[in-house]
Structure formats: structure tokens, C-alpha cells
Amino acid sequence: MQFATWNVNSLKVRLPQLLEWLAANPEMTAVALQETKLEDSAFPKADLEAAGYHVAFIGQKTYNGVAIVSRAPLDDVVVNIPGFDDEQRRVIAATVNGIRFICAYVVNGQAVSSDKYVYKLRWIKALTDYVAAELKQYPELILAGDYNIAPEDRDVHDPAKWVGEVLVSAPERAAFRQLLALGLIDSFREFEQPEKSFSWWDYRMFAFKRNAGLRIDHLLISKALKDRLKACVIDKEPRKVERPSDHTPVIVTIE
DNA sequence: ATGGCGAGAGAATCTCGA
């Protein structure tokens, strides 16, 4: 089975692309979506269910919004980070085929000097505590999402230009390592990968053509799943179509 | 140094993303 993460940057715009991509990926069990940008009343539940998928979602107007779209039933759905007071809709979790699948849209942070950056670090700490508790209950766990962190310089097209900037700053990278310290594994780095592998490219300046991107979308798996991990790839195809999201899906294959 | 592009809200031109 496969699990994926994809920041769709508006599900309203990207719904046809999502349906096409799911049809083209028949082994896909469940995909975690970020930036749906839809209130729950506007979520395309009927369309997705008519196409044969199970859905769980939590959203808001204009910003944020997360969802899980699955071929398998979704059990024990939990929205947001329990106990963390946050109006922004950024987290949803469900159990899929016995695996706890958590979808997170990590705060962007805007700039290292901003209030949003402070919120970002505080938010990741809350997520880390939440995932630590989830791991105790669900040893088999995947933390999927747009982390808005490029973990290492090799995840950045031009590291020199990005030094100290938001998405690559030392405190953000330290926060990412704190997630790994829970016993999570960056599934992408368990395999040999092409150099300059990225999951996001700016819409501007022909960034995709120039491969001027960042790897900020990740699938962290728990140690209990490591022996069943068979592959992790970035699927660049959806970034090539007309009117794409600026992010492209990342996919793990679990035996 | 700044904006580039795209999406949403809402009705011209903002904010926000990364």
C-alpha cells in the first residue's frame, strides 16, 4: 500500500487533478492534503465519495485546511492538536489499515524576525508532544505533511542564498530533528535519491524549469514500520500540468 | 532593493504563501 502527502494549494482548483492523480495511482491507499482552503460546508465530500473514496477534513475559509482522502475506511478521526488552542486548521489524523496517519500543515513562519516564526516554533513543539503521545497508542504511525522545513542543505537548490532564512534556519531544523528524536524516520532518505530532489518550486521565475526548489514535504514513519518500508519517491508529474499546485506529491510504499 | 506567480476575497487591489 501507498501513502502520500500533497499540499494542493486550494482543493477547489485542484480537485480534478487530485481525482486524475488518484486514478493514475491505483496502489494509493490514502493521501494527506494540505491547504485545502475550504470551509467544511464547501468540501467536495460528495464528489470524492462518489468516486469511491473515504474522506476526513477540517478547514476554514481562505487559509490552511487539511484532509485525508482514502481508499480504505478512516477510523478514529481526530482534528487539530488536542489541548493546543489554535484557530488555524492544520492537523487531522485517522487510522488507515491499522496505521495511524497524521496529516500536518506546519506554519510557514514568513520571516525569522516575525511573530509568525515564533508561532511556528511553538506550533511544532505542540505537534511534537502530540505525536509523542500518539506513538504510545499507535506504534505504526506516519506523520505526513507540508513541514515548511528543508531539513538539510541538500534539500535546498541554492543553500548559500538561503542561509538563515525561514524554512532552513537552525531553530527550524532543530525542531525537525526533535520530531526524528521521537523515533521517526525520514522515509525519503532511507533510499538512494537523485541529487537536487525537491517537493516545492516557486511559481515565479520559472523555478520549476530551473529546478530551483526545496524539499519541505515529508513522510516520517515510525520505527515499527521501517522493515515494511519499500520505497519513497517524489512524483513530479502533477507539477507539470496546466495550473499546478506549487507543491508536488511525495509517496511512500509500505509492504 | 524589489518583484516575479497564483489563490482568495470581493470588486481594485489587498494579504499570504515559501
Catalytic residue chosen out of the listed positions A105, A130, A138, A147? A105
Nucleotides of B under 7 A from a protein CB: 3-9, 16-18
Which among A150, A18, A145 has a CA at the least distance from the CA of A90? Answer: A145
Rounded to whole angstroms, the distance from the CA of residue A103 to the C1' of nucleotide B4 is: 31
The C-alpha atoms of residue A1 and residue A142 are separated, in whole angstroms, by 13
Flag whether A246 is marked binding. yes
Catalytic residue chosen out of the listed positions A54, A117, A146, A147? A146
> Catalytic site residue A54?
no
Say how many CA atoms lie within 13 Å of A200 toward its Cβ: 20
Flag whether A247 is marked binding. yes
Going residue by residue through chain A (255 aa), what tens digit of pLDDT does each one get?
999 999 999 999 999 999 999 999 999 999 999 999 999 999 999 999 999 999 999 999 999 999 999 999 999 999 999 999 999 999 999 999 999 999 999 999 999 999 999 999 999 999 999 999 999 999 999 999 999 999 999 999 999 999 999 999 999 999 999 999 999 999 999 999 999 999 999 999 999 999 999 999 999 999 999 999 999 999 999 999 999 999 999 999 999
Evaluate if the CB of A148 falls below 7 Å from strand B. yes
Flag whether A85 is marked binding. no
Which among A41, A103, A105, A27 has a CA at the least distance from the CA of A72? Answer: A27
Percent of chain A predicted with pLDDT > 70: 100
Evaluate if the CB of A114 falls below 7 Å from strand B. no
- Sketch out chain A's domains with CATH numbers: 2-254 (3.60.10.10)
Flag whether A153 is marked binding. no
Amino acid at A198: F
User: A214 by DSSP, 3-state: which?
Assistant: strand
Average model confidence (pLDDT) for chain A? Answer: 98
CB-based contact A64:A39 (threshold 8 Å): no
Give Cα separations from A43 to A21, A30, A185 (angstroms).
Answer: 18, 17, 32
Query: What is the nearest nucleotide to A108, using C1' and CA?
Result: B18
Burial of A230 (0-12, 13-18, 19+ CB in 10 A): middle
Residue-level pLDDT at A233 = 98
Q: Which residues have a Cβ under 8 Å from the Cβ of A72 and sit 6 or more positions away?
A: A29, A30, A54, A96, A97
Which tens digit of pLDDT belongs to each residue from A210-240? 999 999 999 999 999 999 999 999 999 999 9
Q: Which residues have a Cβ under 8 Å from the Cβ of A222 and sit 6 or more positions away?
A: A135, A139, A140, A141, A142, A183, A184, A185
The C-alpha atoms of residue A230 and residue A232 are separated, in whole angstroms, by 7
Rounded to whole angstroms, the distance from the CA of residue A200 to the C1' of nucleotide B5 is: 14
> Would strands A250-254 and A213-214 be described as parallel, antiparallel, or unpaired?
unpaired
Evaluate if the CB of A207 falls below 7 Å from strand B. no
Query: What is the nearest nucleotide to A42, using C1' and CA?
Result: B8
User: A2 by DSSP, 3-state: which?
Assistant: strand
CB-based contact A233:A3 (threshold 8 Å): no
CB-based contact A133:A144 (threshold 8 Å): no
Which tens digit of pLDDT belongs to each residue from A75-108? 999 999 999 999 999 999 999 999 999 999 999 9
Q: What angle do CA A160, A246, A103 make, to 5 degrees?
A: 100
Q: What secondary structure letter does DSSP report for A183?
A: T
